[in-house]
Amino acid sequence: MNKREGEGCPRKNADTGQDRDASTNPSSPVIAAFKVFQQELDTKHDKYERLVKISRDVTIESKRTIFLLHRVTSVPDPEDVLNEADVKLDGVRQKIGQIAEELRGEDIHQFHRAFTPGIQEYVEAISFLHYIRHRSLISLEEINARLVFMRAEKVAEALPLGAQVLTFHVTPSDYLLGVADLTGELMRMCISSVGNGDIDTPFQLSQFLRQIHDGFSYIGNTGPYEVSKKLHTLRQSLGKVEDACYTLRVRGSEIPKHMLADVFSSRTTLIDPEEGVV
């Protein structure tokens, strides 16, 4: 019994060794197929990482533009600040052009999570600039109309005319999330305006934020999950602006103008905790 088992083991080990040699044969079609899969996955991961880095640059430059725009309430000539913000946003759009180049011929949904933070921040910055200039909300079509790029000259010369143009389309969900973040910047602009003695801007912002809140309320649970999460923050921003308007209307004559900003920043907004996410 033991002898037969001992005789069978070498033969079995030999067969296993032959199978292993066949499986590790570089000319095996299975190995060749998996090498192709490896190259495709490596290419996809490298592209994903490049998009993450570009999106991070877009986020940083967009935040710097937002910080710059908050100076319009304290400078004698706001147009200089707005022109400087235009220059910064042109640089941001060049970064988005790099994203469009990376996504040429690709399924955008496979890489959407890599660049969506930067696009949302860009939407927030450009919508903030548009509101300061026009006192209105920029549309998704207006944003996408500015995201048309020409490819590099050396590359464009070897391509037909239609392929020389690159376009990037902001998705509706990124647009909504960027507008939701805009409400926080408008609330800060309201407090800064009051601190500088401007008592008209808070009432304009209050009416504008109510319109945005009504629009998001119509979406409700039918929109993306992230939108419903940010609705609570939007309500908080609206509540703080309305609280500032209430204080200006009722107690504005009692509080010195240079103390209004401190009063508003120290007050806490009373919002029903059950009115979180609808």
Contact 176, 227 (CB under 8 A): yes
Cβ count within 10 A of residue 99: 22
CA distance 86 to 213: 28
* Helices (runs of H) and strands (runs of E) counted in the chain: 10, 2
If we measure between CA atoms, which residue out of 181, 188, 191 comes closest to residue 244? 191
What is the biggest distance separating any 2 CA atoms in the chain, rounded to whole angstroms? Answer: 107
Cβ count within 10 A of residue 157: 9
Phi, psi of 252 (to 5 degrees): -60, -35
If we measure between CA atoms, which residue out of 139, 152, 142, 146 comes closest to residue 168? 146
141 marked as binding residue? no
Beta bridge partners of 165: 150
Tokens matching residue 10: 């070498």
121 marked as binding residue? no
Q: Residue with structure tokens 């319109």? A: 211
Angle at 135 between CA 77 and CA 178, to 5 degrees: 105
Three-state SS for 198? coil
Point out the annotated binding site for Mg(2+).
124, 185
Point out the annotated binding site.
124, 185
